[in-house]
Structure 1
């Protein structure tokens, strides 16, 4: 079985490529980075280093890579692929979908072998995004081909892959935490129904929101409050009494909302949230507050990890004050090396905090939530170190 994975970054190598290789797929990475492509092709292998109380090293062998602009070899790889996956960031799914549209038209002309396309991103129903881009202005022939021969299962992915400074044999070796979860929509799979380590589920939506709210939302809140109070690492920030209390109560608010919306088991959600706090505490990851908090424009956007649980709590008339705190802290994330953080600061300075909230979050100016976030923003400003 052959897999083509778009995105040779840490998640691509340390999570998706890792699991696919362990499932005996021949993995070809596609990336825009000359360095990554050259290094993968030079060594044909890399090491995944699992960081826990002791290091565990696993070799991933037989991999290769194609540059995104090498259309000749990319076309050949897509035609031969049994599985196409991505970890490129949700913002890049549209352009990748347009690229895949042309490549799938080439594939359609030469083979009727089935293939699945799975977007592995921190976004709700990310595969649907790439499918939408592929279908835009598609011919009737292509639409029929896709329906018959191409599966588009959505997925939820969960693994922390930090930029930790550890000794590596090769520059493409990657360090990961010892936990991972990959949930895939079972009913939409055409051919790739037995990836080792993946869980195939009938209803993916609860898993997507559980992960987005309880991991991504709480992780970002830890980072933004940690930055505000002068911490460098997540494991340091989560030990702060104030930050820990906010994150624990963030989880309580989100767990209540998830339980009501999806009829998920409240105790199971609570147990999952406790495990997440333990993952945040892992000192071996050396996970930087900056890494987790970077690009706050995306993380504070309308359908992402903080605004989505806030709106759900508000709609269900549930407590949401700690989620509001995470959002307000994100507005105070003014890291000089983050262009997106600086865009938010410029908006606040030129338009005022309420207009900036509307611009970034997509909330209506007359929403009571805007007033709550703005009030908390002013409170948190006094804590900034």
Structure 2
């Protein structure tokens, strides 16, 4: 079985590519960074270093890479693939879909074997986004081919892969935490139903939102509050009494909402919550608050990790004060090295906080949630 993975970064090498190689796939990475592509081809292998109470090293061998700019080589591997996966950021799915579209049209005429395409991104129903880009504007013949021969299962992925400053034997070695989870929509898979380490589930949305809220949402909250209190790493920030209280409170609010919406067992959700909080405390990861908080425009958007649980709690008439706190802190994330953070700060300076909240989150100025975020923003600004 042959797999092509778009995005040869830390998640690609340390999580998706790692599991695919362990499952026996021939793996070819695709990336726009020439130096990364060159190094993968030069060494043909890399080491995954698992960071917990001890270090565990595992070598991943026989990997290749092609440049996103090398269209002939890209076409060759995609035309022969059994599986295509991505971990390149949800913002890049549309352009990736447009790239794949042309190659899949050629494949429809030359290779009848089925394949699956799975987007492994921190976004709800990311594969659907990729699928929409491929289907957009196409004729019935191509759509029929896609429906018949290409599976588009959504997935939920969970593994923290920070940029740890540690000695590596090769520049493409990657450090990861010891926890991972990859949930895949079972009923949409055409052929790739045996990936080791992946869980095939009948209904994905509960797992997607559980991960988005309890991992991504709380993680961003810790990062934004940690930044305000001048911590460098997540494991330092979570030890702060105030930040830990907010993070646990965020979980409590989100757990109640998830249990009602998806009829999920609240005890199971609580156990998952405790596991996530303990993951944040892993000092071996040295996970910088800047990394976790980066691109606040996306993380504060209306369908992402902070606003989605807020809206759900509001709709269900549940408490949401700790979620509000995380969102407000995000609007105070003014890290100079982040262009998206600068964009938010420029918006606040030009238009005020309420208008900026509206522009970024989609919450109208007259929405009571907008006012609550603005109020907490001023409180944090003046007191932290």
Q: Does the 8 A contact of 1:3 with 1:28 survive in 2?
A: yes
Equivalences, count: 384
In the TM superposition, 1:1-385 aligns within 5 A as 1-384=1-384
Q: TM-score, normalised to structure 2's length?
A: 1.00
Q: What per-residue deviation string (whole Å, max 9, x for no partner) do you get for residues 279-331 of structure 1?
A: 00000000000000011000000000000000000000000000000000000
Moved more, 106-115 or 181-190: 106-115
- How far, CA to CA, are the matches of 1:223 and 1:383 in structure 2? 17
- How far, CA to CA, are the matches of 1:273 and 1:192 in structure 2? 30
- How far, CA to CA, are the matches of 1:136 and 1:371 in structure 2? 38
SS in structure 2 at match of 1:239: coil
Provide the aligned C-alpha RMSD in A. 0.5
- How far, CA to CA, are the matches of 1:197 and 1:322 in structure 2? 33
- How far, CA to CA, are the matches of 2:329 and 2:345 in structure 1? 12
- How far, CA to CA, are the matches of 1:71 and 1:325 in structure 2? 46
User: Which consecutive unaligned segments of at least 5 residues does structure 1 have?
Assistant: none
- How far, CA to CA, are the matches of 1:382 and 1:19 in structure 2? 47
SS in structure 2 at match of 1:102: helix
SS in structure 2 at match of 1:259: helix
Q: Does the 8 A contact of 1:229 with 1:383 survive in 2?
A: no
- How far, CA to CA, are the matches of 1:193 and 1:278 in structure 2? 31
- How far, CA to CA, are the matches of 1:253 and 1:279 in structure 2? 19
- How far, CA to CA, are the matches of 1:139 and 1:47 in structure 2? 45
Offset at 1:383? 3.0
- How far, CA to CA, are the matches of 1:265 and 1:332 in structure 2? 35
Q: Does the 8 A contact of 1:46 with 1:170 survive in 2?
A: yes
SS in structure 2 at match of 1:109: helix
Q: Does the 8 A contact of 1:228 with 1:383 survive in 2?
A: no
SS in structure 1 at match of 2:144: helix
- How far, CA to CA, are the matches of 1:249 and 1:137 in structure 2? 45
Moved over 3 A (4+): none
- How far, CA to CA, are the matches of 2:264 and 2:324 in structure 1? 23
Q: Does the 8 A contact of 1:87 with 1:120 survive in 2?
A: yes
SS in structure 1 at match of 2:319: coil
Offset at 1:187? 0.0
Offset at 1:335? 0.2
SS in structure 1 at match of 2:21: helix
Offset at 1:232? 0.3
Q: What per-residue deviation string (whole Å, max 9, x for no partner) do you get for residues 341-373 of structure 1?
A: 010000001100000100111111111000000
Q: Does the 8 A contact of 1:206 with 1:262 survive in 2?
A: yes
Q: What per-residue deviation string (whole Å, max 9, x for no partner) do you get for residues 222-274 of structure 1?
A: 00000000100000000000000000000000000000000000000000000
Q: What per-residue deviation string (whole Å, max 9, x for no partner) do you get for residues 190-238 of structure 1?
A: 0000100000000000000000000000000000000000100000000
